[in-house]
Amino acid sequence: MSKWSMVIDLDKCVACQACSIACRFENNTPVVAPDQAELGRSVRWNDVFPMPVNPTEEVGEYPHVKTQYMTRPCMHCENPPCIKVCPVGATFINEEGIVEQNYARCIGCRFCTIGCPYGVRYFNWFEPQWEAPLQEHLNPDRVEGKDVLEGPAVRPLGVVEKCTYCIHRLKKARAQAYAEGRDFRADEYVPACVQTCTGKARFFGDLDDPNSSVYQLSTNPRVFYLLEDAGTHPKTSYLKEG
């Protein structure tokens, strides 16, 4: 069984936010007006922000100042605090380690958004909407079943959504391999943010495969995890800058 994982090399990241944009178009995240963004209603499954997020003091003195940028998809924790608090099992971790979100099940209590220390979960405060040209170019992919609605499918009002490591791409790659009558290979699938990354800073693969890039990078001395002492065991890891 695969264990999907992502490694982000901050040495290579140029904070261009291409991952954020790729994610937006891949996963149909709604666009909000500036006044709504002001209220914290913008949705960025893959966010790029300065670190520390809430600096208590200036880092360095002018002109020798330094800013570090962080790019943050879902951590897909091995011990996810969000799924523990969900009252209806709308969010769950699958056997491949991806933390999924079922829009058809979510009751909108927003306990998971409070439970997640990383802030990777977003809520649909209004019915999602796009301007006309965008509306016509939504990603038609969706993960659907009985009482199941996941992936880039346009979200209904009042449910929580989050990064899924582009789970629809995994399903599509699997279906393709099956149709061609061959075994699925782990390198047939990467999320949109990894595919688009300008600096090739993102690595994605199967952590259980000793030949995968993520496995080999996992022993790199520069590896660190966000909020490591929270005990969530993220599967998205970072390589320290410098």
Partner 1 sequence: MLHVDSELKQKLIDPLFTPLNRGFKLSAGVLLALIAWGAFMYFRQIFLGLGVTGMGRPVYWSLYLVDFIFFIGISHAGTLISAILRVTGAEWRRPITRIAEAITTFALIVGSLQILIDMGRIDRLLFTFTFGRLQSPIMWDIISVTLYLLGSMTYLYLPLMADIAIIRDNLPEDVPAWRRKFYTILALGWTGTKEQWVRLEKAIAFMAVFIIPVAISVHSIISWIFATTLQPGWQSTVFGPYFVIGAIFSGIGALFIAMTAMRKILGLEKYIALKQYRNLGFIFITMNAIWFYFTFTETLGLVAGQQTYEMPILAVKLWGAFAPSFWLMIACMAVAFYILVVPLILKKQSDEERAFIFQPRFSQGTAIVAVVLAVLLFVPSILNASIPILTALWILLALDGFAFLMSVSQWFKANPVTSTVIASAFVVVGMWLERWNIIIPTVTHPMLVPYATYTPSLTEISIAVASMAGFIFMFLVFFKLFPAISIWELAEGRVLEEAQSKIVMPMPEANLTGVRRLKIK
Question: Contact between 84 and partner 1 (CB under 8 A)?
Answer: yes
| DSSP, residue by residue, 156-222 | PTT-EE---SSHHHHHHHHHHHHHTTS---GGG---HHHHH-TT--EEEEETT-TTSHHHHHTT-TT
Question: Is there binding between residue 225 and partner 1 (CB under 8 A)?
Answer: no
Pick 100 or 206: Cβ nearer partner 1: 100
* Contact letters for partner 1, residues 116-155 (x by CB under 8 A): -xxx--xxxxxx----------------------------
How many residues interact with partner 1 (rule CB under 8 A)?
Answer: 46
Instruction: Name the minimum Å distance from CB 196 to partner 1.
Output: 23
| Contact window for partner 1 (CB under 8 A) among 38-46, 132-140, 190-198, 208-216 | 38-46
Asked whether position 159 contacts partner 1 by CB under 8 A, the answer is: yes
Using the rule CB under 8 A, which residue among 16, 69, 110, 172 binds partner 1? Answer: 110
Q: Dihedrals φ, ψ of 190, to 5°?
A: -135, 150
Contacts 24+ apart (CB under 8 A), 88-94: 90/159, 90/160, 91/160, 91/162
For residue 51, what are the β-bridge partners? 68
69 binds partner 1 (CB under 8 A): no
Q: From CA 150, how far away is CA 241, in angstroms rounded?
A: 34
Using rule CB under 8 A, residue 233 touches partner 1: no
Question: Based on CB atoms, which residue is closest to partner 1, 130 or 184?
Answer: 130
The single-letter code of the amino acid at 63 is P
Q: Which of 35-43, 170-178, 210-218, 233-241 is the region at the interface with partner 1 (rule: CB under 8 A)?
A: 35-43
Q: Does 57 bind partner 1 (CB under 8 A)?
A: no
Cross-strand partners of 161: 122
The smaller minimum CB distance to partner 1, of residues 14 and 88, is found at: 88
The C-alpha atoms of residue 112 and residue 11 are separated, in whole angstroms, by 32
